């Protein structure tokens, strides 16, 4: 049973990752036929507001082609739209939890640094972390030089054996951990265990504890961030090489010992929430996939409140005079792309497990409904509605033997209300 569960979790993660990487949103030349969920009202900042985004995968070498571009080809524009949106929402600063670029070539980092420079000039400080796509060919030393103004020069302390650092501001200690420090040959190679999974050296953990002790003694609230996910059970599985975090338990125990309430990560490309005792983990989604989301955290003396948010690309495109029709109508384009994706996958699966035309339409409606609800964070509320749709039974019949069957079942069974927002009470 446990193996079955693990297998499903791994399949889920892999599919989610593939979906995002495939930039699963084909362009739609036809008229809109989906309803774009309205952006909810977001209250003005109460206390300190922080924005967290992840996996920008900036790639100036991959630009929109033809009339049918994929969303990831707009990485330059979406990075600009994110920076503008976070400022507009009143964020005091922005944390980027790694995979800043799509492969660590110097000109890709240089392109991002240009954008961050403008954001800082506009009043939005940014703190970055390396992910598994950020180093090689650039080295750790290069990375710290590129991002000197985005964490490393301002650091209260830097770890000597990784790109981890700590910043103190606004009553917070930001413990920024380089969980992917192995990827281009860790600074301290003797302690690096391999090249495909996350690891923190003993010396980094000792440095982190020094920081945590300092925060405790000085009454600072610690927020910890790293690229790799910390709490999901699947990360303990060595076979799951892209997600395995060798000493995740040690880090989780250390954070709990110092009563750190929240660990921020990315990497998985899906929005997710985990909890172990009083330690919460928020996984911020891939910027280049539906729904172009990021995280907003409001912090006051008593609580930390998380709100998922969607970059208003349309507003940014209008403000900056973009001429691309896709960018000016981005939310609708993206929503239609999700619809297309649902139809294409049902059509593909029904080649092996045939459905009538009507069943195929209804199965696609069901697929779209579940996907849309999941990505909006509302699936926990809509589970019963989803399961009562006429396309539910035909979908699972058609998806028999395909990972999508396990995946949608898993989504329906596990969707958590926290994906729509949560509040942590500070102790």
Residue 267 binds to Fe ion (criterion: CB under 5 A)? yes
Q: Please identify, using beta-carbon distances, which residue of 130 and 377 lies nearer to Fe ion.
A: 130
User: CB burial class (10 A; 0-12, 13-18, 19+) of residue 384?
Assistant: exposed
Q: Which stretch binds Fe ion (CB under 5 A): 156-164, 266-274, 326-334, 404-412?
A: 266-274
Q: Minimal CA–CA distance to 222: which of 273, 280, 171?
A: 171
Binding mask 357-376 for Fe ion (x = CB under 5 A): --------------------
Q: Smallest distance, Å, CB 21 to Fe ion? A: 10
Closer residue to Fe ion, CB minimum distance, 71 or 342: 71
* CA-CA-CA-CA torsion sign (83, 88, 93, 94): negative
Contact 309, 52 (CB under 8 A): no
Spatial neighbors of 420 by CB under 8 A, at least 6 apart, are 308, 376, 377, 378, 380, 381
Provide the token pair at 142. 């290069």
Query: Please, which residue, 20 or 307, has the CB nearer to Fe ion?
Result: 20
User: Of 21 and 422, which CB lies nearer to Fe ion in the complex structure?
Assistant: 21
Query: What's the closest the beta carbon of residue 269 comes to Fe ion, in angstroms?
Result: 8
Minimal distance, residue 191 CB to Fe ion, in Å: 21
Nearest approach, Cβ of 134 to Fe ion (angstroms)?
A: 9
Closest CA to 254 of 309, 209, 305: 209
Cis omega (within 30 of 0) on the bond before 137? yes
The distance of closest approach from Cβ of residue 315 to Fe ion in the complex, given in angstroms and rounded to an integer, is 28
Nearest-CB residue to Fe ion? 267
Radius of gyration of the chain (CA): 21
CB of 227 to Fe ion, least distance (A): 6
Contact letters for Fe ion, residues 63-102 (x by CB under 5 A):
------------------------------------x---
- How many residues at the interface with Fe ion, by CB under 5 A? 4
- Please state, in angstroms and rounded to a whole number, the distance separating the CA atoms of residues 282 and 272: 6
Q: Which is nearer to Fe ion, 162 or 222 (CB)?
A: 162
Residue span 116-135 as binding mask against Fe ion, x where in contact by CB under 5 A, dash where not: ---------------xx---
Q: Which of residues 304-363 bind Fe ion (CB under 5 A)?
A: none
Residue 108 within binding range of Fe ion, rule CB under 5 A: no
Decide whether 9 or 339 has the Cβ nearer to Fe ion.
Answer: 9
2-61 positions binding Fe ion, by CB under 5 A: none
Site for Fe ion, residues 129 to 168, rule: CB under 5 A: 131-132
CB of 264 to Fe ion, least distance (A): 14
Build a one-symbol-per-residue string for 210-249: x at contacts with Fe ion by CB under 5 A, - elsewhere.
----------------------------------------
- How far is CA 241 from its chain centroid? 19
Within 13 Å and on the Cβ side, how many CA atoms surround 424? 24
Q: Which is nearer to Fe ion, 130 or 391 (CB)?
A: 130
Parallel/antiparallel/unpaired status of strands 262-265 and 221-226: parallel
**At its nearest, how many Å lie between Fe ion and the CB of residue 147?**
17
Which CB atom, from 132 or from 162, has the smaller least distance to Fe ion?
A: 132
Q: Which is nearer to Fe ion, 102 or 204 (CB)?
A: 102
In whole angstroms, how close is the CB of 140 to Fe ion at the nearest point? 17
Task: For Fe ion, give the closer residue by CB, 97 or 335.
Answer: 97
Q: Closest distance between Fe ion and the C-beta of residue 94, in Å?
A: 18
Give dist(CA 285, CA 269) in Å, integer. 5
Return residues touching Fe ion (CB under 5 A): 99, 131-132, 267
């Amino acid at each position: 049973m446990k193996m079955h569960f693990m297998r499903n979790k791994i399949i889920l993660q892999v599919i989610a990752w593939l979906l995002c990487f495939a930039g699963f949103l084909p362009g739609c030349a036809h008229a809109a036929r989906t309803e774009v969920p309205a952006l909810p009202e977001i209250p003005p900042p109460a206390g300190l507001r922080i924005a967290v985004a992840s996996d920008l995968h900036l790639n100036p070498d991959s630009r929109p082609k033809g009339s049918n571009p994929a969303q990831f080809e707009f990485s330059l524009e979406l990075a600009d739209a994110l920076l503008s949106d976070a400022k507009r929402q009143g964020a005091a600063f922005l944390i980027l939890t790694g995979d800043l670029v799509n492969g660590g070539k110097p000109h890709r980092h240089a392109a991002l640094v240009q954008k961050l420079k403008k954001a800082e000039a506009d009043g939005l400080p940014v703190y970055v972390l390396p992910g598994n796509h950020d180093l090689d060919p650039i080295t750790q030393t290069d990375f710290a030089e590129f991002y000197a103004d985005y964490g490393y020069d301002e650091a209260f302390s830097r770890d000597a054996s990784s790109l981890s650092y700590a910043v103190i501001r606004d009553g917070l200690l930001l413990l920024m951990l380089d969980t992917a420090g192995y990827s281009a040959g860790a600074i301290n190679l003797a302690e690096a265990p391999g090249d495909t999974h996350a690891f923190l050296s003993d010396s980094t953990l000792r440095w982190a504890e020094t920081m945590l002790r300092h925060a405790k003694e000085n009454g600072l609230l610690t927020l910890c961030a790293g690229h790799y996910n910390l709490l999901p059970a699947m990360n303990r599985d060595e076979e799951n090489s892209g997600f395995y975090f060798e000493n995740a338990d040690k880090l989780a125990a250390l954070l709990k010992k110092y009563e750190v309430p929240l660990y921020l990560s990315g990497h998985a490309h899906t929005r997710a929430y985990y909890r172990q005792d009083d330690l919460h983990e928020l996984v911020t989604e891939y910027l280049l996939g539906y729904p172009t989301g990021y995280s907003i955290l409001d912090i006051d003396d008593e609580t930390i409140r998380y709100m998922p948010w969607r970059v208003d690309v349309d507003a940014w495109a209008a403000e900056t005079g973009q001429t691309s029709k896709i960018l000016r109508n981005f939310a609708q384009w993206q929503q239609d792309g999700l619809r297309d994706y649902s139809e294409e996958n049902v059509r593909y699966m029904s080649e092996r497990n045939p459905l009538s035309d009507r069943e195929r339409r209804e199965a696609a409606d069901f697929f779209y409904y579940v996907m849309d609800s999941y990505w909006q964070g509302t699936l926990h509320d809509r589970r019963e509605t989803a399961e009562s749709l006429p396309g539910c039974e035909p979908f699972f019949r058609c998806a028999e033997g395909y990972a999508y069957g396990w995946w949608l079942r898993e989504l329906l069974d596990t969707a958590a209300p926290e994906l729509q927002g949560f509040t942590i009470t500070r102790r």
